[in-house]
Chains A and B, each alone.
Chain A
Amino acid sequence: MRRALVAAVLAVGAVVSVLPFYWMVVAATHDGGELFASPPPFLPGAELMANLARLEESVHFGRVLATSVWTALVYTALSSLVSAMCGYGLAKYRFRGRGVLLGAVLATMMIPFQVLLVPLFQMMASVGWVDTYQSIVIPFLANSFGIFLMRQAFLGFPDALLESGRLDGAGDLRIFYRIVLPCVRPQLGALVIFTFMSQWNAFIWPLLMLNSEERYTVPVALNHLIGLSHVDYAGLMLGAFLATLPLMLVFLLFQRQFVSGLLGGAVKS
C-alpha cells in the first residue's frame, strides 16, 4: 500500500520531469510556424523528415554530431582518469602540497568561468591553438568538479582494504586499479556521465575557440539557427532532441554501473 503510493508519486514526478522534453520532441516534428499557434501543438506532427533535411543542410548536423561524439569521448576517457587519480591522491595520501592542490581545485571550481575567458583565450592564441580540436579538449582535462566528486567518493573508502593490499605486496598503482576502482564503480559511473555531459554541453568556450564550420560541436552549431530576423525553432528543437540521445545512451550504459556496484559488496567499514 505504502509502496504503491511511493510508486505513484514517483511516476507523477517523472511525468512532470519529462513533459518539457516531450514538448521539445513534439515541436521537432512540426513546421516552425505551427509552434506559434495558440494553444501550441501537443501531439507529434508530420514535419520530422523535412526538419531533419533542413537541419542537415543548414548546419551539417551529421558531421557536427560526429565531432561532438569523438571529442567528448576522448575528453571523457582522459579527464575521468585524471579526476579519479587526483581524487584518490587527495583523499588517501597525506603529502606536502596537498592543501595547496585541494585549494587550487576548489578555486577553479569557485571562480566564475566568464572572467577566465580572456586570459585563457590569450594563452590559446599565443600557442596557435585557436580553431583547433585540442583547444576544446586539453585545457579542461583537469576537471575540478570531477576531482572533487572523486575525492568525496574515496574519502569513505576503508583504509583497512588498502592496508591489506599493501601487505600482499601490491604497488600503489596496482592497488588503485585492482582494489579501489572496482569498489567505487557506482561513483565512477557518475563521474563518466558527469564528465561526458560537461563536455557535450560545453558552449561558450567552443564558441570562442572554433571558427571553422567543419569543426563545430553541437551546441555551437545549434546556435547558428538563431538568426537576426529569423529563428529556426523547429530545427532547434530537433537538433536539441537529437543531441540528448548520445547523452542518454551514456547515462543508460553507465547507470548500470550503479546497479552492479551493489553486488561489489567489498566496501565495509
Chain B
Amino acid sequence: MKTTHVIAALTAGLTLSACATGGAPAKEAPKLAQPSAAAKLSGKIEIWSWDVAAKALQRLAPEFEKEHPGVEVDVRDIGYDNAYDKITVGLKSGSGLPDVITLEDTAIAGYAENFPGGLVDLTPVAAKYKADFDPAKWAAASNAKGLYALPWDSAPVGLFYRRDYFQQAGVDPESVATWDDLVKAGEKIKQATGKRLFVSDLTNPAAFTTLLQQLGQGYVKNGEVAVASPAAVRALTLLKTLKDKDLLQNEKGWDGRVSATKQGKAATQPTAAWWTGTLTGEMPELSGKFGVIPLPAFDPGGARTSANGGSALSITAQTRNQDLAWAFMEWLLAGKDRQVSMMRTESLFPAYLPALADPYFDEPQPYFGGQKVNRLFADQVRHIPPVELSGDDKQAEELLKKAVPGVLLNGADPRTALDEAARQLAAATERKVAS
C-alpha cells in the first residue's frame, strides 16, 4: 500500500519537477516585509552552518528561545567542506533548503546573481544598520539590486611574523610600513636565518586576491572585467618579485601551510585574524614566537589591511517563517552583546563595528608575547577596502588558477598572463574588459 503511494507520488513529482525545470524561476528576489511591531514571534526555523560558527549558533540559540517562548531555532552543522554543494543543489532544485544559511562573503554574489529569487532581499529591514557594519562586508553582501546577507564575522588581514627570526636578522618589525620595506626585510632575514618570507600555495590565486583587495579592487570593476587592471598587474608583480627573490615557501593546500608554519619554515604570514585560532590550536609550542603588525602598504599612507574570509547569514526564499528568521539574525548579529560573546568564545571577529569598542579587544594575548593583537585587528576592520564582487568571480578564479601559477611557477610575464585571463573571462561572461 505504502509502496504504491510512493510510486504514485514519485511519478507525480516527476511531472511537477519537469515543469519546474522547464519554467523560468523567479527573476526577482522576494523582499523581506517589515514585520509589524505587534506580531508575536512563533514557530520554528532551521539554520545551516559549520565549524565554530555552528557551535556559536548552537550555544546562543537557546538564549533566543528563552527570550521568545514558543519559538524553536534548530541549528544543523552541515560541515564546511562540500557545504556549498548542498546549498547549490538546494537553490537549483528550489527545495530542501532551511530558512537560514551561512555563506562566506565570496559566495554571496555568486548565489545572488545566478539564482535570482533564491535568497531574500533584506534591504527593507536591514538598511538601517548599514553604518554599523564593516563596509567591505556590507559591499560583499549587496549588489545593485539588494542586500542578500547580514554580515557576521570580519576577516581583517595583518602580517603575522616570527619575533625570533626578525630579531636574529636585526629587523625591527615596526619599521616595516610598505611592501618594499618587507621585501628588503625578507632578503635580510633569509640571509640571516635561511627562512623564506611567507608560505603560499603558488597554484592558488588566493594571495593575489588578497593583495588585489588591499589595492581596493575585485575581479570586476563597474561590471567590467578588471583582472588585468593596473592594480592587478601590480599585485601579481609583487608576488613575482617575491618569488624571483626566492622568498615564497610554496606549500600545497591547508595542511601544507599549517605544517610549514609549525616547522618554522617562514618568517611572516600575511593572513586574517582567524589565523590566531589556528596558531594557538595547532602549534601551542610556538607560544611567544609570533607577533602581528598591520599589513605593509603598497604606497606610504595606503590601506594596511585586506580581507580573507568571513561569513554572513542569508534567508532563503524557501523559508516559511521570514519574520522569525530575521528576528533571530538581527538579535544575533546586529548588536554588541552576542557579537562580543561570539568573539570571546568562538573567536568570530565581529563585523558589527560598535562591538569592536568592547574592552575584550584590549586584553593582552599571552600567545603573542602579551601583544594586544585583537585591538590591532579591530582597528583595521573599518579600513578594509570594499570591493565589487560578482557572480562571475568563481569563473575568474578558475582562470586565475592558471594565470597566477603561469607567472609564479613558469616565469610568464604578469601583464601578458593577466591580459589573457581577462580576455577569456570577458569572452565567457560577455562582460567588457575594463580599460
Contact surface of A with B, Cβ cutoff 8 Å: 32-33, 35-38, 117-119, 121-123, 125-128, 130, 204, 207-208, 211-213, 220, 223-224, 226-231, 233
A and B contact pairs by CB, cutoff 8 A, 28 listed: A32-B282, A33-B282, A36-B258, A36-B262, A37-B263, A38-B263, A118-B89, A118-B92, A119-B17, A121-B93, A123-B10, A123-B14, A123-B17, A125-B13, A125-B95, A126-B14, A126-B17, A127-B10, A128-B9, A130-B95, A220-B79, A224-B77, A226-B80, A227-B51, A228-B52, A228-B274, A229-B275, A231-B254
Interface contact A126-B13, CB-CB below 8 Å: yes
The answer to whether A121 and B263 have CB atoms under 8 Å apart is no
Contact of B85 among A204, A227, A228 (CB under 8 A): A204
A37 to B12, CA, bound (A): 58
Does B89 lie within 8 Å of A117, measured CB to CB? yes
Report the Cα distance A36→B261, complex, angstroms.
Answer: 9
**Residue of B76, B80, B278 with most chain A CB atoms under a 10 A cut-off:** B80
Q: Report how far A127 CA is from B15 CA in the complex, Å.
A: 12
Q: Are A118 and B80 neighbours in the complex by a CB distance under 8 Å?
A: no
Chain A residues near B51: list those with CB within 8 A.
Answer: 227-230
Cβ–Cβ contact A207 & B85, under 8 A: yes
- Interface presence of B283 (CB below 8 A): yes
Q: A32-B282, A119-B21, A121-B95 are in contact. Are A233 and B79 (CB under 8 A)?
A: no
- Interface status of B50 (Cβ within 8 A of chain A): yes
Interface secondary structure of B, over-half rule? helix
Q: Find chain B residues with CB under 8 A from A123 CB.
A: 10, 13-14, 17
User: Besides A119-B17, A122-B17, 7 other CB < 8 A contacts?
Assistant: A121-B96, A126-B16, A130-B95, A213-B76, A223-B81, A228-B309, A229-B274
Q: When the two chains form their complex, are residues B93 and A211 in contact, meaning their CB atoms are under 8 A apart?
A: no
B86 at the interface (CB under 8 A from A): yes
Q: Using CB atoms, name the residue of chain B closest to A34.
A: B262
**Could you say which of A36, A117, A130 has the most chain B C-beta atoms within 10 Å of its C-beta?**
A36
Q: Does B327 contact A (CB under 8 A)?
A: no
For B364, list chain A residues within 8 Å (CB): none
Kindly list chain B residues whose C-beta atoms are within 8 Å of the C-beta of A227.
50-52, 80
B241 CB–A CB distance under 8 Å: no
| Residue contact A230 to B281, C-beta cutoff 8 Å | yes
Q: On chain B, which size bracket covers the interface?
A: 35 or more
A37 to B52, CA, bound (A): 26
Q: Mark B1-18, 1 if CB is under 8 A from A, else 0.
A: 000001001101110110
**Is B410 located at the chain interface by the 8 A CB criterion?**
no
Residues of B contacting A36 with CB < 8 Å? 255, 258-259, 262-263, 282
Within 8 A of A (CB), among B56-104: 76-82, 85-86, 89-90, 92-96, 98
Instruction: Closest B residue to A35 by CB, please name it.
Output: B259
Closest chain B residue to A58, Cβ basis: B77
Within 8 Å of chain A (Cβ to Cβ): is B43?
no
Q: How far is the CA of A125 from the CA of B14 in the complex (A)?
A: 11
CB distance from A22 to the nearest CB of B (A): 19
CB distance from A137 to the nearest CB of B (A): 13
> Given A121-B89, A226-B79 in contact, is the A126-B282 Cβ separation under 8 Å?
no
A223 touches B12 (CB 8 A): no
Find out whether the CB atom of B17 lies under 8 angstroms from the CB atom of A228: no
Q: Collect the chain A residues with CB atoms within 8 Å of residue B10's CB.
A: 123, 126-127
Q: Which residues of A contact B17 (CB under 8 A)?
A: 119, 122-123, 126
CB within 8 Å of A: which B244-292 residues = 254-255, 258-259, 262-263, 274-275, 277-278, 281-283, 285
In the assembled complex, the CB of B218 is this many whole angstroms from the nearest CB of chain A, namely 21
Most buried by B among A32, A35, A123: A123
Q: Does B427 contact A (CB under 8 A)?
A: no
Could you tell me the distance between the alpha carbons of A118 and B82 in the complex, rounded to whole angstroms?
Answer: 15
CB distance from B3 to the nearest CB of A (A): 10
Cross-interface CB contact of B93 among A125, A128, A207, cutoff 8 Å: A125
Q: A33-B283, A208-B86 are in contact. Are A122 and B20 (CB under 8 A)?
A: yes
Nearest-Cβ distance from residue A74 to partner chain B, whole angstroms: 16
Q: With both chains docked as a complex, state the minimum distance between the C-beta of B120 and any C-beta of chain A, in angstroms.
A: 20
Separation of A137 and B94 alpha carbons in the complex (Å): 23
Q: How far is the CA of A212 from the CA of B79 in the complex (A)?
A: 11
Closest to B88 in A: A118
Q: Are A122 and B95 in contact (CB under 8 A)?
A: yes
Within 8 A of A (CB), among B411-433: none
A195 to chain B, nearest CB (A): 22
Cα separation A130 to B98 with both chains bound (whole Å) = 12
A38 CA / B258 CA spacing, docked (Å): 12
Q: Which residues of B contact A38 (CB under 8 A)?
A: 259, 263
Cα A119 to Cα B263 with chains together (Å): 47
CA distance A154 to B348 in the complex (A): 60
Question: A117–B92 Cα gap in the complex (Å)?
Answer: 10
Q: Give the interface centre of B13, B16, B77 by most chain A CB atoms within 10 Å.
A: B13
Q: What is the CA–CA distance of A128 and B16 in the complex, to the nearest angstrom? A: 13
Within 8 A of A (CB), among B94-128: 94-96, 98
A152 CA to B325 CA, complexed, in Å? 55
In the complex the two chains form, is A208's CB within 8 Å of B89's CB?
yes
Chain A nearest Cβ from B415, distance in angstroms: 34
Contact assessment for A125 and B96 in the assembled complex, using a CB-CB cutoff below 8 Å: yes
Expressed in whole angstroms, the minimum distance between the Cβ of B274 and any Cβ of chain A is 5
Query: Which residues of the other chain, A, contact B94 by a CB distance below 8 angstroms?
Result: 122
In the complex, which of the residues A127, A128, A213, A228 contacts B77, with contact meaning CB atoms closer than 8 Å?
A213
Complex CA gap A125/B16 in Å reads 11
**Bound form: Cα–Cα A117–B95 in Å:** 13
| Least Cβ–Cβ distance between B40 and chain A, in angstroms | 28
| Closest partner residue, chain A, to B8 (CB atom) | A127
- Using CB atoms, name the residue of chain A closest to B20: A122
Instruction: Please give, as numbers and ranges, the residues of chain B lying within 8 Å of A125 by CB-CB distance.
Output: 13, 93, 95-96
Task: Chain B residues near A226: list those with CB within 8 A.
Answer: 79-81
Interface members, chain B 319-351 (any A CB < 8 Å): none
Chain A residues with CB under 8 A of B277? 229-230
A128 to B13, CA, bound (A): 10
CA distance A123 to B283 in the complex (A): 47
- Give complex CA distance A227, B82 in Å: 11
Q: Are B282 and A230 in contact (CB under 8 A)?
A: yes
A207 touches B86 (CB 8 A): yes
- Give chain B residues whose Cβ lies under 8 Å from the Cβ of A32: 282
Bound Cα distance A22, B282 (Å): 24
